[in-house]
Amino acid sequence: MNNEAIAERFYRLANLMQIRGDDPFRVRSYRNAAEVIETWPTPLKKIASEEGAKGLQELPGVGKAISGKIMELLDKGTFDAWEKLTAETPETTLDLLRVGGIGLKTASTLHQQFKISSIADLRKFVEGGGLEMVDGIGERSAERIRESLKRL
């Protein structure tokens, strides 16, 4: 697993945590770590094999918890926190971000208030006129969402 793939997993974790409404400081720490990992010149796999978790903790923004998750990810291809999170909040919730007119804030509202966790859920919600009930979605945004759903 290369640095970009590891960073992508942490970006996805941060987005999923933000959609769930988790602690914004934890979300930011995962996002910051992902930014560092993505551009780090040395493969994390090499650092982990030569220096272990302590070596990973030398990276800015990578502490004990995140280095442990990286070690797990390199070893098993996943990590327990990811598995627990996606068991509670399906990874398909991130697909909402592919819809034009839906960003993290709107995805969070849709998931938390209306339990929408997939494109299929969103389609049913939109067809049933649900967008009119969502604070922050005006007529133009609603139309962008409808048009985007047609293209997906």
Quote the CA–CA distance of 132 and 147 in Å, as a whole number. 16
pLDDT in tens, 8-66: 999 999 999 999 999 999 999 999 999 999 999 999 999 999 999 999 999 999 999 99
Helix axes 119-127, 139-151, angle to 10 degrees: 130
pLDDT in tens, 92-138: 999 999 999 999 999 999 999 999 999 999 999 999 999 999 988 99
Quote the CA–CA distance of 79 and 82 in Å, as a whole number. 6
Q: What total of structural domains would you count in the chain?
A: 2
Reported in sequence order, the residue ranges of the chain that DSSP labels E, i.e. its strands, are none
CB-based contacts of 49, cutoff 8 Å, min separation 6: none
Claim to verify: residue 45 and residue 101 sit in the same structural domain: no
What is the CB-side half-sphere exposure of residue 106 using CA atoms within 13 A?
20
Domain that holds residue 79: 3-88
Claim to verify: residue 63 and residue 103 sit in the same structural domain: no
CATH code for position 30: 1.10.150.110
